[in-house]
């Protein structure tokens, strides 16, 4: 059971982020929740690709003790890491866009509360 702790951590992160998105009214808190949910998804991808006792899939300066005949079995999976790498940069771009929209909303309505914004709209 304790060996599945990374998966449980992933679900905990996603739960925290989803709670902030659903039940919080402040737009900044919603942005923080989206970021936490994203990190949960990134951790899930990395966790899926981990192989026990594996090293990073890079052939330059391999740690000693890795011989050529045990190569595919002694390296972690590269494709989830590549997907995570793409996902992180997309997360940064989307977060910047969310924050700039939040700045615009605050200038127009003078509040960050999602419910009050809905009420102020004529």
Partner 1 sequence: MKNEEMNEGKMTVIVQTIAALLFPLALIFSFYVIMHGHLTPGGGFQGGAIGASAVVLLIVAYGVKHVEEKMSEGGFSVFESLGGLIFVVVAIFGLFLATSFLANFLVNEPIFGKIPGWGESPLNSGGILPILNIAVGMKVIGGLSAVVLILALISREGEEK
Partner 2 sequence: MKKLAFIAFVVFFFFLFYSAYEIRDFGNPPSNVKETFPDAKYKVTMDDRIIGKYNTTTGEWEYGAVEETGANNVVTSVVFDYRGYDTLGEATVLFTAIAGIMLLFGREKK
Query: In the complex, which residues of this chain contact partner 2 (CB under 8 A)?
Result: 1, 3-8, 10-11, 14-15, 18-19, 22-23, 47-53, 56-60, 68-69, 71-73, 75, 77-79, 81-83, 85-86, 89-90, 93-94, 96-97, 100-101, 103-104
> Least CB distance from residue 87 to partner 2, whole Å?
9
- Could you tell me the two tokens for 52? 């026990």
DSSP state of 4: G
State yes or no: residue 107 binds partner 1 (CB under 8 A): yes
Are the C-beta atoms of residues 112 and 31 closer than 8 Å to each other? no
State yes or no: residue 85 binds partner 1 (CB under 8 A): yes
- Could you tell me the two tokens for 64? 């000693």
Query: What does residue 71 show for φ and ψ, rounded to 5 degrees?
Result: -70, -55
State yes or no: residue 28 binds partner 1 (CB under 8 A): no
Of partner 2, partner 1, none, which one does residue 94 interact with (CB within 5 to 8 Å by kind)? partner 2
Of partner 2, partner 1, none, which one does residue 107 interact with (CB within 5 to 8 Å by kind)? partner 1
DSSP state of 49: T
Residue 9 CB contacts under 8 Å (≥ 6 apart), including other chains = 43
CA dihedral sign, ordered 68, 72, 76, 78: positive
Tell me whether residue 12 or residue 79 sits nearer to partner 1 (CB atom). 79
């Amino acid at each position: 059971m304790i060996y599945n702790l990374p998966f449980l951590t992933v679900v905990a992160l996603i739960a925290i982020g989803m709670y902030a998105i659903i039940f919080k009214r402040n737009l900044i808190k919603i942005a923080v929740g989206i970021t936490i949910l994203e990190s949960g998804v990134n951790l899930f991808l990395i966790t899926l690709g981990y192989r026990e006792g594996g090293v990073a899939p890079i052939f330059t300066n391999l740690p000693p003790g890795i011989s050529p005949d045990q190569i595919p079995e002694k390296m972690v999976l590269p494709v989830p890491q590549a997907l995570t790498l793409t996902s992180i940069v997309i997360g940064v771009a989307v977060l910047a866009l969310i924050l700039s929209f939040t700045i615009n909303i605050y200038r127009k309505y003078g509040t960050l509360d999602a419910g009050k914004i809905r009420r102020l709209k004529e």
